[in-house]
Amino acid sequence: MINCHNVSNLLVVKPAICHPKNTMGSSVDKFFVTIGLLALVHAAYSAAQHRAYLRLTEQEFTTLPIDILLQTVVGLLLACIGIVRVVGHFREIRAVADMENRTWDTINVRASFYGFNHRGKMLFSDGEDG
């Protein structure tokens, strides 16, 4: 794990990922995402046009042309690389990393399961609500 702070009075080299201005990704990364997504849309349109051409000429469909396949792979790679670089820091997968700061009292608390709008309120009402 890369630490972005001073350790034992030695300056640790900060990688670009730790720099505060890199939290949203650069414009080059956003450009990669845009070009990748446009390439994927164009490849899908080209595949549909190729399929329509084969129907008109009454040829059997075997596989897509290599240029469409290559455009799909390049577009997918550009989009994936751009998205990974734009989002910035990832959280650790280990559950222990999230559980380290929790106490025994808060481990079993799941606020999303609390439901306050239920039939039980009708049991204790005075009956005027209908």
Digit-coded pLDDT (tens) for 110-119: 777 777 777 7
> Residue holding tokens 């990364």?
29
Say which amino acid occupies 57.
T
Residue 79, Cβ neighbours under 10 Å: how many? 19
pTM of the model as a whole: 0.55
For the chain, the straight-line distance linking the first and the last C-alpha, in angstroms and rounded, comes to 61
Digit-coded pLDDT (tens) for 69-87: 999 999 999 999 999 988 8
